[in-house]
Amino acid sequence: MRTAGVDLAAEPKGTALAVITWGDAATATATAGSRTGTATLTELHLGVEDAQIVETAQTVDKLGIDCALGWPDAFVAFVSAHAAGRPEGTTIDGGMAWRRTLAYRETDRRARELTGRWPLSVSTDRLGLTAMRCAGLLARLGESDLDVDRSGAGLVAEVYPGASLRLWGLDTAGYRTDPDSRRRLLAQLAAAAPWLDLAGQDERMIASGDAFDAVVAALATRSAALGRATAPEEDVLDQARREGWIALPTGALMDLPDAGGRTTAS
């Protein structure tokens, strides 16, 4: 299996792409009777254009993108109503509680329940420009006959590297902006995932938070590919196909090489 992770930015500068190749053939570990596989970082790119992401997507089993794949249904309805001059029966009260319904998707609410933190709002935070680029990228992937389902059921999954690291029990304080914090975090990651071969890319990950997150995105994408990540229940599935859905890991980092679970892509 090959999984790719994209740390998407509004422009190629700031966008990183990582590919991890998983050796699913079991090998004996130090623990008697246990079996596991290996994983190797086979690609790591900075300054990535959409065309390179689309090309890579055709060579992997699952592609994880660190960006909201859609906007809240309530926000879309509000913008349409506002543009139409507030049709009869439309409620626009401007209050804080009402604004929160526009700011967050259903998956954002579920992520907060699980992690204790709100993801960035695609409607109101700086993520908006990146999400516009992501919409174009999803269109290009679809035009290449790739299965794009914003709920995560197809080739593409929405991933959240920082939250994934925290769910795996790692300390993410300051890592996005501070190389020393990334060095410390990378040491934690290496201890927790001794099966992961970074192929000499350690210093690039320490120097670039974008590169670091792309690698983590590729790890989180493995969770999604194995069906060991949060997925929308039937009652919100249609909504997730419009808004997107964050695939947060539900299993341990140490178990990622073990492909004993079901996969969502082949």
Per-residue pLDDT tens for 128-165?
999 999 999 999 999 999 999 999 999 999 999 999 99
Clarify whether residues 100 and 133 are in a common domain: no
Average pLDDT over residues 159-180: 97
Q: Is residue 62 part of a domain?
A: yes
Clarify whether residues 249 and 218 are in a common domain: yes
Tokens 């960035």 found at: 120
The whole-angstrom separation of Cα 147 and Cα 233 is 20
Give the pLDDT confidence score for residue 33 in this predicted structure.
39
Q: Is residue 151 part of a domain?
A: yes
Instruction: Using CB atoms within 10 Å of the CB of residue 87, give its burial: 0 to 12 exposed, 13 to 18 middle, 19+ buried.
Output: exposed
Clarify whether residues 23 and 112 are in a common domain: yes
How much is the mean pLDDT over the chain? 91
Average pLDDT over residues 10-18: 98
29: amino acid identity, one letter: T
pTM of the entire structure?
0.91
Q: Is residue 208 part of a domain?
A: yes
Q: Is residue 261 part of a domain?
A: no
Structure tokens at 152: 């995560």
Clarify whether residues 130 and 183 are in a common domain: yes
C-alpha to C-alpha distances, 105 to 91, 154, 192, 245, nearest whole angstrom = 19, 20, 32, 9
Q: What band does 125 get if pLDDT is binned at 50, 70 and 90?
A: confident
| Span of 33-47, 113-127, 230-244 with lowest mean pLDDT | 33-47
With a CB cutoff of 8 Å and minimum separation 6, the contacts of 124 are 102, 103
Looking at the predicted structure, is the pLDDT value of residue 264 above 70?
no
Give the pLDDT confidence score for residue 89 in this predicted structure.
59
Q: Is residue 159 part of a domain?
A: yes
Counting the structural domains of the chain, the total is 2
